[in-house]
Amino acid sequence: RINGKQRVLLRKYLQDLSTFQELPQEILCIKIALSVSEGAYTQRTLAQNLKPSKKKRSLR
């Protein structure tokens, strides 16, 4: 489970990532860090969060 502060930071970081070109290395680092600290549930949530930002990027 993620507390409120972590969720805000994660969302902000994902928004930052979505404004740049794809950074697979960084995303991989996030996934590894999350899988260690938060478990597979958060990794699934992260994947869901990344999908909309990819769509936004392609629409711009």
The pTM assigned to this predicted structure is: 0.26
Which comes out higher in pLDDT, residue 60 or 3? Answer: 3
Q: What does the pLDDT read at residue 60?
A: 47
* pLDDT tens profile 9-20: 777 777 666 655
CA distance 10 to 7: 5
Residue 41 confidence (pLDDT) above 60: no
Residue 21 confidence (pLDDT) above 60: no
Q: Where are the alpha helices (DSSP H) in 1-60?
A: 4-19, 24-37, 40-59
